[in-house]
Each structure stands twice: as C-alpha cells, then as structure tokens.
Structure 1
Amino acid sequence: MDAFARLAGERSGRDLRSWPDLHRWSVSEVGEFWQTVSDFCGIKWLDRGIGSAYTPPRPSPKPGVGGTEMGQRGVRDRGQERGGAMTDALWFEGAKLNFAHNLMPLPTDDEVIVSVSESAELASRRLTGKELHVLVARCARALRSAGVRKGDRVAGVLVNSQEALVCMLGVTAIGAVWRGLTSRLTTTSGPRVPRVGGCEEGWGRAPLSPHPTLPKHAILLSTLSLVRTLLSLPPPNRSPRSLSRFHFSPNLAPSSCSPDFGVGGVSDRLGQISPKLVFFSLGYLYGGRWHDCRGLAKDVLSRLPDTEQGPPLGVGVPYWTTLGDEGGGSVNRADVGGDSRSYPDPLSVSDLPAPLVPFEEFLSGSATEIEFEPTAFDHPVFIMFSSGTTGLPKCMVHGAGGTLLQQKKELELHCDIQRGDRLLFFSTLGWMMWNWAAAVLSIEGASLVSFDGSPGHPDLAALWKVSAEEGVTHLGASPKYFGACKQKGVVPGVDCAASGSDGLKKLRTILSTGSPLLPEHFQWIYQAVKGDVHLASISGGTDILGCFALGNPTLPVRAGHLQCLGLGMDVCAYGGDGSQEAVGEPGGSGGEVDRDRVDHPVVATAPGAVAAALKPPSREAARGEMGELVCRTPFPSMPVSFWGDSDGSKYRSAYFEAFKGEDVWAHGDYIKITEEGGVVISGRSDAVLNPGGVRIGTAEIYRQTEMVPEVEDSLAVGLRVDGDVEVVLFVKLVPMAGEGGRGGGGEGHPSQNPKNHYVLTGELEGKIKAIIRSNLTSRHVPKRVIVVDSIPYTRSGKKVEVAVTKAIHGETVNNLSALANPDSLQQFHEAGRALRGLAPFPPPPPPVSRLQ
C-alpha cells in the first residue's frame, strides 16, 4: 500500500502518504487511479487500445443498426440507448487482454497450487507453474476441439480442486465464459460443522459496536460459505429435453430434500445460460464419507437444453488423482498405513456413464503453448448468480478487465499479498470468493492452497493444521468458523506450535466475511491464534466480485469494524428510503472524501485532470449514523449486464432506482461510517426494522443474542400492527449440557418443546430483553420472543428475514428452492396466524430448564 501511494503521489504531483488523502484522490481522479492500479499491478495488455482508463458516457450509436456486439458493457444491442453515468462509464476503450493470460503464473518449477483434502489418506497434490501451463494448454486445446468458442458458456459442477482451476483457466484462455457450481452433496456423518457465512448476494456482514483499538497488524483473509450442495433429480419420466429440476442444499441430512424442493436449483441457473460443455466431479469426500456422483452427472446432463450445435458435452472428473504426462490419472495416496479402502481408485472408462467423457481422455494429446484469445475489457468472463430469495436468481455477467483490476487491487494493496505468500481461502466453487481467491495466481511468486472437504473433519483444527503445514500467510474463513473454534476451546497458536511444524509463524493475515465478525471473535483471534496478525473483516458482494469495505495493512484494527473503504470505491451512507429528504447533517463518507467532491462525476480522461463537482450529496448521513450503502462513482467491476436482460431494465432496477433522481449504486446494505473512517454493517436494508419510525438493522440484535449462552441462533422481523411495526424475535435454543436432540419450541410457540433443550421461561425471555436493552435501546427490544425449531437460511448461509416476514403475514414466499431448509417456514406461518389473532397459541409445555 505504501509503495502504491508513493507511485500515485509521483504521478499526480500530490502528497498521498496519508490514507485519507490517498482515498480522496482515488475517488476524485477515477481515470488516473485505475490507470495507476493497472500499471502498479502489472496488468498484461495484448493491446492498450485508443482511449484512456476512464471515459464518461458518450452519445448512443444511431438506432436501427441491428445485431449485437461483445465488448464494452458486455453483450449490448447495437443502437441500444445508453443510460446514466454509472451504467455507461467506459473503461480502457479499445484495449485487449485475456483473463487467463493475466492469472497464469510463470512456467517455472515453483509450486503455484497445492490441493489438500480433508482425508489423511490422500496426500496433498502439488502443481508447479510449468505443470499448470501444460495442463491449461491441453484444456484450452480440448475445448476448442469440442467446438467451444469465444463467448460460449462452460460450467463446472466440481469440488474445490486443482482440476477446477485448470478448467476455469482453460475456459477463459479461449475467451469463453465460466460458471462454477459446487458438486457437494450433503452428509450425515462427522461432527456438526457450523454454517459458514457467505452468500451469493452480499457477503460481508460487518460486526456492530465500536470497541477499543487493537494493534496494527498484517492482513486478513475472508471466507465464504461452507454450504453443502445436493442435486436432487426430477422424476425419471420427465422429458430429457426439458429443463432440469434439481437443487442444492446445505442441510446435513439428504433425506430432508425432495425433488420438488430442487425445482429452482440448477435449472434456474444453468438453464438460463445454456452451457455448451459441463465438467462434473464424479465423486468426493465430505465428513469422512464418500459420495458417488456418476449417476447424478448423467441425469443432470440429459436435462440441460441443447445448444446450437446439439446437446451439451459432459466431462467426468475423477476425485483426487495426479494427472500424468499423457493425461492418465492415479490416486494420490498418502502413506498412512492401515486400510485406506474408504477411497476408491479412479473410475475406469467402463465405469463412466454415457455420454460423459473421461477427463483424462478429454485432456489427452499434446499441447505445450496456450493460445490466449484477445478480448475487450468488458468481455464476459464469469457468470454469477444471486441467492434468488426474492425471485429467480439474478444472472450477473462480469467482465474480464474489471474483475481482474478489482481483485488485484484488493489482493495486492489491501491484503498485501506479495512474492512468496500463500493464500488459503475456504470456499466452494459456487460462491464468489472462489473466483476472488483464484486471482492470487496473478501475483508473481504467490501460490494458492485449495482445501476440499469439511473444515470440521476430523475436528475444527483442520484449517489451522493445513495452514501450519503448508506455510499459509493469508487465511480466509467465516465468523461462524472462528466462533465455533472459540466455543470448542480450539487454541490454534498453541496446538499448531506443538505439532512439530513451524506452527503459524508465517501467518500474517486473516480475512473474514459472510456474517458479522463479532468483537469477541477479534479478541479470541488475537489471544488464541496470534497476537501480531492483521485481522480484516471484508464486505462486498457477488454483484461486484469484490469489496466495498475491507482491510488495510497500514491502519489500526478496531474490534467489530471493517477498517476502511476500498480504494476507488466512493461509498457513503444515504439516509431516507429514496422518497424522503436527507436524514442527518452532511457528514464524511468513508475514506475522508471531500464534501465538495462530485456526486455524479464526469471524471478526467487525461492524467491530472480533476472531476467536476456537480452538486453536493443530498442524502448523506452524518458519520456514526446509519443509512443505505451507496456508491456514487463508477467502478470497473460493476456487472457488464444481466444475462438475457436485453434492454438493461432489470440491471438498472437492481442497483440504480432506489433513490429517485440520483444516479447512485444502491447495494442493499445498511451501514454507518465511523468517525475514524471505518465501516459497520448492520444487515441487509430490505430486512431493516422500523418500529416507531426508527430504523434498526437486524444484525444489531443478533450481536446481542450471540451473548446469550442459551440461544443457539435467532432471527428478528417486524410484525405490522395498526400502522406501526412490532419487533418479533425468533430464537432457537441450545440443547442442555450433555444431552442431544434437535431444537424445539417453547413458551408462546405452537410446537412441542423437546425436554432436552432449554425452555423459554419468563426468566430467560427477560434475560434476552435485558441484554438487548442495556447494550442498544428500548426500541430494539422485541415485543415478543418465540422459540422455533430452526432458522431458515439460503443455501449460501444467509438468514432470510424477508421470507419470514412474508410468512408471518400470511403472504406467499417465492422461490423456496433458494432455501436450504424450506420446511422450516411452516412454523413461521403458524406463529404468524397466532400473532395476527387467527389461531391461539397452545399452552406452554411444563418448564424443564436448568438455567445457570
């Protein structure tokens, strides 16, 4: 970060050594900033083009030309009318690059990818830069031979492995578009693993209350969801030409998912983009059990729609093999002694169901050089899907150049990843953090560790042990994982040092995302893991394949806060709901942005020019006050389009219509920017509660219920009553010490209460309310506290307050296939009827709690 500030200062002729000055320059001199990022991070251009780094909107082409073009802003109809400044910003006009070309390490004998399995039976697999180069060359050649061309879609339903990276790099090398999905099935074996936060729509949920400053340290890595994926097939008599009806589910019991539940899963996603080829994992290990996916892959493939050249091709990828010089595979076993037959040998061709092609056969043949297809800056590289809890998933198309610039900026500057560093980011292919972490390959001399399996197998120390053994410098995991380690008494700093390795001496950054990283999590990491690590909570979204707020190795760490706004991200908090006047006094936005800086910038097209200030912000909340997260200046990793959104109306509606008359990106998070320039995120704005006209973020309440030992999980919603809103808090209680069983109901809830769980007595309800009142305000205190069996989540680990709000008001909840546990909504429908006076609550069960 300091080196970048020096370069920026030299080029701009300004003193940018202080963080506020550097961030102010990055959002006011947009073109100059992103050009400097490109040069500092070493973007490999195939053609530097004719334009500057940033060009303001220009008049539309004459209507009536017809046809389509692939390039700036993705797939656009020729003659399509341009919109506002945010959507029509042009980046590096006329320039050409290739995404894989930028990610490919040098073809040397240095290790660049290490693949680690949860099983001690399977040795780590290692790829050098030279070996990766050959495999990607073969994959690119094979894809071209299979008829895949620039702009075609290719999907991977794969485990987190080196094969997934080879496939993604091969696809993007030829200019095709990649979509990864996890092949993870559910499991009933192994220890209960905490739900790993992370979501497809917005992945950092920052912690809440201010806490004392912690020491300055080196960087943090974040994690995504540990969501288990179950593909459940439609009935066998369904036409093979019809779109498939199968689903993903992170539940721990396969039997909990029916075929009807899977209607919106893969069919809502792959069915939209019609892939020409799909890579399938044929099996995998999770929680100590082997899952065979051969039949699944065959049936999924048969139900995908045809492309213009016929049915899509399927390629079967075996689990944990070492590819030989001719593409053949052998199991890469560790010498652990004893019986290791729990893992089968690679599937032979005769075992592979038609029409799948074996991966080793697909890669067979010779190829040593990669022919990189030149693409425009905004040429589609990834297709990402939102969680789909409010309708069909948004199908977001991300451009090669913008994705590359954003991710390299974050990894190299905000995470300080350098030559010799090694990143382990726990994720599955379905979540954006897999794409984000893969970009570390673009940093010369850095390497990536991919972990496949359960982070709780054989115990919660698994990720820490891998980090110690592999010399990881940057580790990413979710707050749920850190919280589970804390709860179980894991002490990684001591445990890893006693293992005979160098322990965690090389670890200098921990990143966290997916849900609030609570202040007590900060304290635990500094006490139990390492006292001189840089801990960074980060927040952004699948929508931008990057971060709005994240860490900074040059700034102090404050417990419960995201350290700063990202460079180039002109973020502030907007008060009001888009129809009101400004709320609060004009105040600072994150990063100390000047009050008289642009609102709708027309940014310089030449170095040194300054954006014109059009008008002061009209809605910006004062520092320390809550508001909607908005970004007021264009940034290159905005989606280039939504797939199939020919007129751009869905795209504009998703981000640019929240505030009437203002052309700003509204992200849907409820935030405050602190006096120090840090960020606190209190949840999704569509889940904000409004009792008595006071807006409350649900994460504020969850922060308090986390401190109640009898409460395992909670969810807060608003019940509409006589023109106002009452806060209703649903809680799932923990089992009694030493006793098992599932969560159950309690006083005031229409279900029976298992006697091996705590009961919601008046004492416990009072305790919950007292904690909320003492740490927040009386407005935050729920009118009612109701016990439920389970809290509904999306498959990506996100609480669904909106769905529960609909359920308690008797409204239809759309797209149940987006939920991991849709059956859990029934208890909320029943509770809602009682809350609305349509049905009585049953008498409470006899109290059996043994409250401490």
Structure 2
Amino acid sequence: MAELLWQPKPEQIEQANLTRFRHFVNQKHGIELADYPALYQWSIDQPEAFWCAVWEEGGVIAETRGETVLKDGNKMPGARWFPQARLNFAQNLLRRRDDSDALIFRGEDKVQRRVSHRELYNHVSRVAQALKAAGIGPGDRIAAYLPNMPETIIVMLAASSLGAIWSSCSPDFGVNGVVDRFGQIEPKLLFVADGYYYNGKTHDSLEKIAEIRRRIPSIERVVVIPYTRDTFALDAIDGALPLGQFIDGYAAQEISFEQLPFDHPLYIMFSSGTTGVPKCIVHGAGGTLLQHLKEHRLHTDVKPGDRTFFFTTCGWMMWNWLVSGLAAEATLLLYDGSPFYPDGNVLFDYADAEKMTQFGTSAKFIDAINKAGLKPRQTHDLASVRTLCSTGSPLVPEAFDFVYENIKQDMCLSSISGGTDIISCFALGNPVLPVYRGELQTRGLGMQVEVWNDDGKPVRGEKGELVCTNPFPSMPIGFWNDPDGEKYHSAYFDRFPNVWCHGDYVELTAQDGIIIYGRSDAVLNPGGVRIGTAEIYRQVEQLDEVVESLVIGQEWEGDVRVVLFVRLRDGLTLDDALIDKIRKQIRANTTPRHVPARVVQVSDIPRTKSGKIVELAVREVVHGRPVKNKEALANSEALEQFANRRELLS
C-alpha cells in the first residue's frame, strides 16, 4: 500500500463543500451515505438523481430544467442529458454583480489589473451588444488568438451570452497552427491582441494576424485588443479595428441572455494535432457547466470568495476549466507569460500577494522547480493555499515528496487527469480523503470509471485501459464537420463498443486511487511486455544530471527495443559512465525489460503548446516517417535532432 502523505483534519472534512453536498443528498433522498465511497457508489448507481443534485446544490440558473433528466442512457454515444432544459452558460458565470474582485491579472512584470464582478458584467454587456450589432447570433463561431488576459474572458462570456460558439488559441501558435484549427470552423470574427509578453520580451502579433486573416476567408472582422502598446497601425489587416472602436457607443445595460438547449454548442476545442490536422471537439453548454460546477465546488472545494489560479494558456482546456470558477463565485487569478521570469518564484509570489486558495499548475512545472533547487516553503508563506492541483502529465511519486517537503505540508495535493476530449476530469482531488504517494486521489463523482484488461474485463491492482462505462454530461456533442459521427465514434468507442475508452494506461489501486503510466498509444512493448512510459520517466528524472527525458519503442529486428533520449544539465555530456548509471537506476527500480537498449543525448525535448512531450512524433521521426502537423508543437525545431541518429542504426 502506498505511503500516506496527507490526511484532512476533522474540521477540514466538516467544512468541505463535499460534506455539505453529501448531507444535502441524504436529506433530499432519505438515505444514509456515510462517507465518500458511499457517495461515489450512489452517484454511479443513481446518475439521474446525482446530476439533478449537482444542478440544485450548484444553483444552476435556467429558464427550465424540464422533466426528463436522461434520454437514451444506454447509448454511448447517443445519450442526452436534460433534453428539455434551456439555459445560458454566461448567465451562470455572471451571477455576481458586486464590487469584489472577479478577475486579477498579471502579465509577467509588465501589467497588473483588477476587474470587479460589477465591472465584468458591464464589460460583457458592451461587447455582447457590439457582437449582436455585427450580426453574431446562436451557432456563429467566434475565434480568439489571445493571451490569458481579462478581455479573453469578457469576449468569451459576451459570445456565449448570445449563443455563439467560442474557440481559442494562445498567441505563441504559428500561422499554420492557427489556420489548421480556426480554418476548419470558419469563424465570423477573430479577436486578437497586438502582442504578448514572454520571458521578459515583447512579441508582436500583428504580422501573423494579417496572414491569418488572408488565409481564413470566413473572417468578416478582426478586433484587436491593446496589450503591449496603446496605439498600432492596422492598415495591413483587412477589416481590422481596435476593441475600443468596436464597442464605442454601447453603454452597459442588462444583458439579454439567450436561453438555449442544454446541448447547445459552447466551445470548440482542438486535439493536440501532432499526428494530423487537429480534431475539432464540440462541447455543450449544459454539460460543461454541470461538470465544472461539480469539479470546482466538490472536488476542488472552491467556495465563494476563494481565489482560484491555474497556470494555463488559452490553448489548453485548463483555461476553460479555470473560467468556470466564476460559476462557483470564485475570484480568478490570471497569469500570462513565463512562470520562470524573472525566476521560478513568480507564481509563489503571486500566491502570497493575492492569498491564493487553489494553486493549479503542471507536473512539469513542479519537476522544473525541483530541478532548479527551489524550496518555496522556506521562502514563501503560502498560508492561504488549501489545494495544489497538478495535471498535464503524470505526477511521479518523488514529486509528491517534493511538494510536501518543499512547498507546503498541510494542503491537499490533487493530481488530476482527464482531457480536452471531455473538457473535464475522470480522476480528481478530494478534500475529505487522504493523499497517498503517487496516486490520484479518486474517481470523479458520477463517472463510472474502470480499468479494463485486453479482454475487456475490469481489474484492480493491474495495469489496463481507463474506460468509462456509463454516459456523463460533458461527453462531446460531436466533432465539427463529422455529420455521421464516424470520427467521434472511432476516437473513443471502437475499442470497446458502447464504452468510452480514453487512451490512458492506468491502474486502479486498493484504496480506489489511480496511477497513470502514460498514454496507451505510447506504451512500449518490448518482447510483448507492455510498459508505460511514465514508469521510466519516474526513474530517470530522479537523477540530478537529467533535466528531462523522452522514451519510445523503436522497431528493431522483428521486435521493439526501448530508446531513451535525455536532456542533461548545461555543460554535461552523456558518457558511458552516465549511461550505465541511468540503466542501473531503471533496472534497480523496475525490471530488466524497462532498461533502454540505447540512451541518446539531445538538447531539447519537443512539446505541445500545453507542455506535453510528444512521444508519437519522435517515434515517427526515428522511423523516417513524416510528422503531419509540426505546427502543433511549441518547439518543432527540436524534432530535427531525432532524425538519422547514428546511435539508432545498430
């Protein structure tokens, strides 16, 4: 059994939203659910009652909920939640209109701003009126090529108040990456910033925007938000005007929120696109709202007035997730730029200055500050932080140790996992349960998550595929330009019919936690033995010499051999002694099958824009096959060093 690292105190359990929710369910249904496991079991046994309870306890604002909760509940895909309901997503996020902080923003060390709930409502009102005057209505697409700044949230809420569909990319995407995404969905309006800040430098966006405008003919107007300068020339961008001019003449007034079906499209999200043109995943307003209310209020324990943060760009689903914190009446802390400028303390400085309560980041960030020798516990107070969330890649057991030893002891470390595919999580944190070393705490309420072996049988204590065997509200309503649903079905339901197969290689533990070993399509298979890539990363990246690593299976002499690429600390060179040290570390803590046949030094590891390493793209390069969409990568030039390596020719 894994080591216990944190246990909530009795008063923390009693004060948790999750405890209040359990009492609410018991009283409403006349039952006696004694603890979280009982509540979880009830939530999957009685899904209609559970999601109604989330609706009621979360205070969903709607014109009507309707009588029917679930239609065709035996179909995946095909199930429909609350088919008679009519609501508006933005209305639920703009429920407060007082003078307390709604948004607090930092753009590196260049910009600081605060927006109250009242100001947020008024800003949204003005933009919504301008959008409507521009002919925007239900179903129209609004695209954004923006930093994580207050205007991004304002425009998204204005668009969704009208029933328009929102899609966003971060401004570090190249032109082809933007066109590959937005070109598929044919937006009418494109919102952009004049530039952005990263690592202390100012980056101009206007030249790229001019080309994007030329290559996406559906765009009728480009609205430019000033960020890095007050004035700029827009002559080169057809149909462009500044935001101030776009909303000029519109005074704030009551917003007329369009009441729309539960499954009305809200967001179009994009797959990473590293193996082809990105898939356009369409998410509905009602399912996104309900799922995020559950995750914020119950699993992350967000309370009204909390100050919630996630380090994210607008090209990652965690931005969409963060924004929904407004429905839980939280203050959102926004940060745009490098988390290491001017040093690795900037996010912890932010946490102390603004009394952050939920601190969200990536496993990669935690590993990076560990490698940098930072110990925030010694340099920062962090008294307000109750929860630290980590996602993006598996959080290795040693990273759990680092968090509790060097960041903070008394807080809930919530390693969470889900994806763009469901705009939410299958595995989540839990403020009333203990944290065990190396484990994601729990399966999400209402999500019948199991681990299946290759025969489609549920297993515990064994590695297998993460599946969800019953429908849930935040399943995509489909893919864009997929009228017969063929792409959607093949993405998730081909492996096990009528069961969502997520593509994660995982284990369900004795205490009902989850361990993630990597993506199923990146699993190594030497000699027919399945090995999760995270098992190797965990060992290699404990070594002080190794900054980060990437492992693939290379086809070799009718089998597969393990090839490990390592990025070393500056000034170090891979030699026989270090290769031997790496192999011994892996062999001693795993099995001989895990030991790489080849260890190769590289200067950089290719990543997606959201920071995930791209094992499949590297595997293609090593085998001399083309990588279809390099624009999806943050550092596509890194791929070049994996081609034609002499170390891999023998």
TM-score, scaled relative to structure 1: 0.72
In 2 relative to 1, CA 101–800 (structure 1 residues): closer, same or farther, beyond 3 Å?
same
Contact 1:715 1:791 in 2 (8 A): yes
Contact 1:710 1:758 in 2 (8 A): no
Q: Give the distance between the partners of 1:180 and 1:522, measured in 2 at CA.
A: 32
1:290 to 195, 198, 202: 202
1:89 to 68, 75, 79: 79
Greater Rg by CA:
1
Counterpart position of 1:412: 297
The aligned amino acid for 1:40 is E
In the TM superposition, residue 7 of structure 1 has moved relative to its aligned partner by 1.7
Secondary structure at the counterpart of residue 700 of structure 1: helix
Counterparts of residues 147-166 of structure 1 (less than 5 Å): 147-166=135-154
The aligned amino acid for 2:591 is T
Counterpart position of 2:11: none
In the TM superposition, residue 314 of structure 1 has moved relative to its aligned partner by 0.6
2:374 to 484, 490, 493: 490
The aligned amino acid for 2:69 is A
The aligned amino acid for 1:666 is C
Counterparts of residues 622-641 of structure 1 (less than 5 Å): 623-641=460-478
Q: Give the distance between the partners of 2:405 and 2:397, measured in 1 at CA.
A: 12
- RMSD over aligned Cα atoms: 1.8
In 2 relative to 1, CA 351–56 (structure 1 residues): closer, same or farther, beyond 3 Å?
closer
The gaps in structure 2 that reach 5 residues or longer are: 1-17
In the TM superposition, residue 722 of structure 1 has moved relative to its aligned partner by 4.0
- Say whether residues 1:146 and 2:146 are aligned partners: no
Secondary structure at the counterpart of residue 543 of structure 2: coil
Contact 2:137 2:163 in 1 (8 A): yes
Counterpart position of 1:5: 22
1:458 to 309, 317, 342: 342
Q: Give the distance between the partners of 2:603 and 2:425, measured in 1 at CA.
A: 34
The gaps in structure 1 that reach 5 residues or longer are: 58-83, 184-228, 232-245, 247-262, 320-342, 497-502, 577-581, 583-617, 737-756, 838-852
- Say whether residues 1:559 and 2:575 are aligned partners: no
1:619 to 437, 440, 457: 457
Counterpart position of 1:373: 258
Deviation sequence 1:99-151 (CA, Å, 0-9, x none): 000111321111111112211x53x3111111111111111100000011111
Secondary structure at the counterpart of residue 647 of structure 1: coil
- Say whether residues 1:281 and 2:271 are aligned partners: no
- % identity of equivalent residues: 46
Contact 1:277 1:314 in 2 (8 A): yes
TM-score, scaled relative to structure 2: 0.94
- Say whether residues 1:130 and 2:146 are aligned partners: no
In the TM superposition, residue 827 of structure 1 has moved relative to its aligned partner by 3.6
In 2 relative to 1, CA 713–492 (structure 1 residues): closer, same or farther, beyond 3 Å?
closer
Q: Give the distance between the partners of 1:480 and 1:774, measured in 2 at CA.
A: 24
Counterpart position of 2:90: 100
Contact 2:386 2:412 in 1 (8 A): yes
Contact 2:173 2:632 in 1 (8 A): no
Counterpart position of 1:707: 542
In the TM superposition, residue 297 of structure 1 has moved relative to its aligned partner by 2.3
Secondary structure at the counterpart of residue 830 of structure 1: coil
Q: Give the distance between the partners of 1:709 and 1:385, measured in 2 at CA.
A: 36
Q: Give the distance between the partners of 1:788 and 1:378, measured in 2 at CA.
A: 46
Q: Give the distance between the partners of 2:239 and 2:618, measured in 1 at CA.
A: 43
In the TM superposition, residue 504 of structure 1 has moved relative to its aligned partner by 1.8
In the TM superposition, residue 172 of structure 1 has moved relative to its aligned partner by 0.3
Deviation sequence 1:560-601 (CA, Å, 0-9, x none): 11001000111111111xxxxx3xxxxxxxxxxxxxxxxxxx
Secondary structure at the counterpart of residue 550 of structure 2: strand
Secondary structure at the counterpart of residue 338 of structure 2: coil
Q: Give the distance between the partners of 2:200 and 2:633, measured in 1 at CA.
A: 26
Secondary structure at the counterpart of residue 406 of structure 1: helix
Q: Give the distance between the partners of 1:804 and 1:350, measured in 2 at CA.
A: 40
Counterpart position of 1:424: 309
Counterpart position of 2:401: 523
Contact 2:69 2:83 in 1 (8 A): yes
The aligned amino acid for 1:292 is D
Contact 2:68 2:84 in 1 (8 A): no
The aligned amino acid for 1:32 is A
Contact 1:6 1:17 in 2 (8 A): no
- Count of residue pairs the alignment pairs up: 632
Counterparts of residues 727-806 of structure 1 (less than 5 Å): 727-736=562-571, 757-761=572-576, 763-806=577-620
Q: Give the distance between the partners of 1:533 and 1:85, measured in 2 at CA.
A: 40
Counterparts of residues 835-850 of structure 1 (less than 5 Å): 835-836=648-649
In 2 relative to 1, CA 729–485 (structure 1 residues): closer, same or farther, beyond 3 Å?
closer
Q: Give the distance between the partners of 1:797 and 1:284, measured in 2 at CA.
A: 18
Contact 1:473 1:509 in 2 (8 A): yes
Q: Give the distance between the partners of 1:768 and 1:353, measured in 2 at CA.
A: 53
Contact 1:691 1:725 in 2 (8 A): yes
Counterpart position of 2:72: 56
Counterpart position of 1:402: 287
2:269 to 360, 381, 384: 384
Secondary structure at the counterpart of residue 644 of structure 2: helix
2:622 to 800, 808, 824: 808
Counterpart position of 2:64: 47
Counterpart position of 1:63: none
The aligned amino acid for 2:265 is P
Counterparts of residues 279-678 of structure 1 (less than 5 Å): 279-306=191-218, 311-319=219-227, 344=229, 346-347=230-231, 355-364=239-248, 365-444=250-329, 446-496=330-380, 503-576=381-454, 582=455, 618-621=456-459, 623-659=460-496, 662-678=497-513
Secondary structure at the counterpart of residue 154 of structure 2: helix
Q: Give the distance between the partners of 1:400 and 1:627, measured in 2 at CA.
A: 32
Which region of structure 1 is more displaced relative to structure 2, 36-45 or 292-301? 292-301
Query: Higher relative contact order by CA 8 Å / sep ≥ 6: 1 or 2?
Result: 1
| Larger relative helix fraction | 2
Q: Give the distance between the partners of 1:807 and 1:425, measured in 2 at CA.
A: 33
Q: Give the distance between the partners of 2:639 and 2:413, measured in 1 at CA.
A: 36
Q: Give the distance between the partners of 1:789 and 1:506, measured in 2 at CA.
A: 39
In 2 relative to 1, CA 303–516 (structure 1 residues): closer, same or farther, beyond 3 Å?
same
Deviation sequence 1:659-702 (CA, Å, 0-9, x none): 3xx31101111000100100000100001111222111011001
In 2 relative to 1, CA 353–801 (structure 1 residues): closer, same or farther, beyond 3 Å?
closer
In the TM superposition, residue 836 of structure 1 has moved relative to its aligned partner by 5.0
Deviation sequence 1:196-249 (CA, Å, 0-9, x none): xxxxxxxxxxxxxxxxxxxxxxxxxxxxxxxxx143xxxxxxxxxxxxxx2xxx
Deviation sequence 1:341-393 (CA, Å, 0-9, x none): xx64x116788955311101112221311010111000000000001112111
The aligned amino acid for 1:646 is P
Contact 2:417 2:426 in 1 (8 A): yes
Contact 1:174 1:373 in 2 (8 A): yes
